Amino acid sequence: MTDMMLKAEDLHARYGAVEVLRGLDFEVPDGNVVVILGANGAGKTTTLRALCNMCTTTGTVTMEGDDISRAKTADIVRRGVAHVPQGRGTFPELSVMDNLKIGAYTRKDNEVGADVDRWFEIFPRLEERRDQLAGSLSGGEQQMLAVARALMCRPRLLLLDEPSLGLAPLIIEDLFERFAQLNKETGLTMLLVEQNANLALDMADYGYVIESGEIALHGPADQLKNDPAVQEAYLGA
């Protein structure tokens, strides 16, 4: 049996009076890539926000066996959860370099500089633009920056919220190749939220489909890909 990096049980979330998540149960095994599929408004983004305690939640979230459902966002980050929010979430008025440095905010070691160099090697475009303001980067570059920044905290679990949104198809493919490579080379666990089901299922080990805040369907990625309901709803078959 694989160790569980993350496990959510009966996860509810609400914004004011509106209940967005209505009892989700899902697991993210260590080293795996898990994808959450769903239409607009199904609650995908809220799921990731709920895991980081960025909205009002009930239910239990455990990370490596420890209950983190009441922990502060900053403490969840310290545990090794990095979140790339929807719409990149870079700091537009900060330089590329400062964006990376703030990514390492929770770290106390002195290898931050070495890590910056490492991500510059993987994303050379960022090094070319290290002193530019993040707001001046293209959409693809911003997404790279958002990912690199998230990796600066040396996460063990990476939450990715629709990284493909608004990007050109070639750039999306390149990005997903890098994600797959990261997962393979470093064993980084990922929980990915996507509308681009094809690419996401290609990379993922396991998938959940949520509809109106509930899990409608789940299974190994290969199996979901061949599921007629998924094909019809998300794969345009």
Distance in Å, CB of 150 to other proteins, minimum? 8
The token pair that represents 155 in the structure block: 């996460």
CB of 103 to other proteins, least distance (A): 5
CA distance 6 to 62: 6
Which is nearer to other proteins, 14 or 78 (by Cβ)? 78
Residues making contact with other proteins (CB under 8 A): 52, 54, 73-74, 77-78, 82-83, 85, 87, 89-94, 98, 101-103, 105-106, 135, 139, 149-150, 153, 166
111 vs 232 by CB, closer to other proteins: 111
Closer CB to other proteins, 159 or 233, in the complex:
159
175 to 62, 97, 125, 143, 180: CA distances (angstroms): 29, 20, 13, 9, 9
Which residue's CB is nearer to other proteins, number 165 or number 235? 165
CB burial of residue 184 (10 Å; 0-12, 13-18, 19+): exposed
Residue 129 contacts residue 137 (beta carbons within 8 Å) = yes
Smallest separation, CB 143 to other proteins (Å): 12
Q: Smallest distance from the beta carbon of 208 to other proteins, in angstroms?
A: 22
Distance in angstroms between the alpha carbons of the first and the last residue of the chain? 35
